[in-house]
Amino acid sequence: MTDPAQNLETYLVGGAVRDQIMGFEVKDRDWVVVGATAKKMLKLGFKQVGKNFPVFLHPSTGEEYALARAERKTAKGYHGFEFDSHCQITLQQDLQRRDLTINAMAMDRQGNLIDPFGGQRDIKEKIIRHVSDAFKEDPVRVLRVARFAARYAGKGYRVAADTQAMMVDMVDNGEVDALVAERVWQEMHASLQEKHCAVFFRELRNCGALEKILPEIDALFGVPQTEKYHPEIDTGIHILMSLDAADRLTDNPINLFAVLVHDLGKALTPVSELPSHRGHEKRGLKPIKQLCERLNVPSQYRSFALKVCEFHLHCHRIGQLKATTVMRLLEKFDGFRKPELIDGFALCCLADKQGRSGHEQENHDQMNLLLEYHRAALAVDGGKVANQVRQQANAGNNTDAKITGAKIKAAIRKQRIAAIAKVIANGKLQTALRPRLS
């Protein structure tokens, strides 16, 4: 079968060209078609994607082919291609309406680069720069700049001053207010998976968008903490440092989201109590719920973040907790059905600990102890305990399955607490045996 794209003037565009020039693996390939109409595309067997966009899927590769367009915003009430003017639009016009110079390059079928707006130059100079005034057409681009800054921060990229000024304008003019929750979460979620996700929030703060989009996080900046524990003092800085630490430990966005919001309660501390934040773990629950509701954050992110917020101080004090308290903590996280949540919790707490000036290399002691307790409790053989309880029930002629079930549950719990207590006792013994250091 011949390739229907051969009958068209097509160019590879967007991320695929950018990634190729930067030397990264190319994921999705998007194409622009110049000089064609929707009718022609459909005739060649391409499948129409949406009603309002001139975008089609290739019948065999499934790759996206968009008719060149000069207008990237689709006006309300615009119905498809009935007055199709896309065939008049040149490649250059299409590229000019794109967000960033690094995203506004094209490549023809022979591999020749078309780069009218200096994308290659900006890659060389490591600059994230808008293409034209058309940048303002779409407030999602404010989020995209912050996300690309997070992606390339490790390579030394920075946002161009005039692009940043344009972002500030878009915030001041209220254009950012038009962002819908779904797109904010989408970009934020993608950014949490970038190598330096703290940069996403830093860039949004630099242009003033953080206050509009994530006011609960913005409110942490300027809130002091006790210098002895937090030499960085500012709570917002602590959160960004904690995200940096978390990025070194994991790329799981559920954990990173929990780190991001774990101290939201600190913005609600009464001024008279500053710089102390007694009770911030409970106080933080409301703003987390508020943020999650507004952005439709998926429930697994929300529920884990709420638990990390409520119990993160337990992890820091883990060595002082009684076995029953440790057990309750493990149960709160559903740590016997979902052990990975305890790993995540331990990791978030370590990121919190390492997210402080001068403490970036802080040891893993509390995290390890929590994981050791968890391992010991998990090692209890539930099947064996259940058999013992059943045998006792049979011997006593007790055939009520409900009562036996409850007894099994209680016996397993008891043994798990005993297993944790044994680790605590061993730890004490080891501490007692350890030679004193003067």
Where on the chain is the footprint of ligand CTP (CB under 6 A)? 14-15, 30, 98-99, 103-104, 138, 140-141, 144
Nearer to ligand CTP, 103 or 242 (CB): 103
Q: How far is the CB of 217 from ligand CTP (least distance, A)?
A: 22
**CA gap 176, 158 in Å, rounded:** 21
Nearer to ligand CTP, 135 or 304 (CB): 135
**CA gap 202, 44 in Å, rounded:** 47
| Residue 222 to residues 77, 238, 274, 282, 430, Cα–Cα distance (Å) | 45, 11, 12, 21, 43
Provide the residue type at 22 as one letter. Answer: M
Q: Are 364 and 350 in contact (CB under 8 A)?
A: yes
Q: How far is the CB of 237 from ligand CTP (least distance, A)?
A: 28
Q: How far is the CB of 245 from ligand CTP (least distance, A)?
A: 25
Q: How far is the CB of 332 from ligand CTP (least distance, A)?
A: 36
Q: How far is the CB of 87 from ligand CTP (least distance, A)?
A: 20
**CA gap 429, 423 in Å, rounded:** 10
Nearer to ligand CTP, 138 or 216 (CB): 138
Q: How far is the CB of 104 from ligand CTP (least distance, A)?
A: 6
E strands, 117-175, are 127-128, 158-159
List the end-to-end C-alpha distance of the chain, in Å, as a whole number: 82
Task: Output the furthest CA–CA distance in the chain (Å, rounded).
Answer: 89
Nearer to ligand CTP, 98 or 307 (CB): 98
Nearer to ligand CTP, 141 or 277 (CB): 141
Q: How far is the CB of 90 from ligand CTP (least distance, A)?
A: 16
Nearer to ligand CTP, 145 or 260 (CB): 145
Closest CA to 200 of 254, 240, 140: 240
In terms of Cβ atoms closer than 10 Å to its own Cβ (0-12, 13-18, 19+), residue 437 is exposed
Nearer to ligand CTP, 140 or 149 (CB): 140
3-class DSSP state of 113: strand
Nearer to ligand CTP, 37 or 132 (CB): 132
Closest CA to 33 of 20, 46, 21: 46
- CB neighbours (10 Å) of residue 337? 8
Q: How far is the CB of 419 from ligand CTP (least distance, A)?
A: 46
Nearer to ligand CTP, 134 or 386 (CB): 134
> Is the N-terminal amide bond of 275 cis, ω within 30° of 0?
yes
> Which residue, judged by CB position, is nearest to ligand CTP in the bound state?
15
| Residue 385 to residues 281, 377, 400, 408, Cα–Cα distance (Å) | 36, 13, 18, 7
Backbone angles phi, psi at 90, to 5 degrees: -90, 165
Q: How far is the CB of 98 from ligand CTP (least distance, A)?
A: 4
Nearer to ligand CTP, 181 or 401 (CB): 181
Provide the residue type at 395 as one letter. Answer: A
Q: How far is the CB of 165 from ligand CTP (least distance, A)?
A: 19
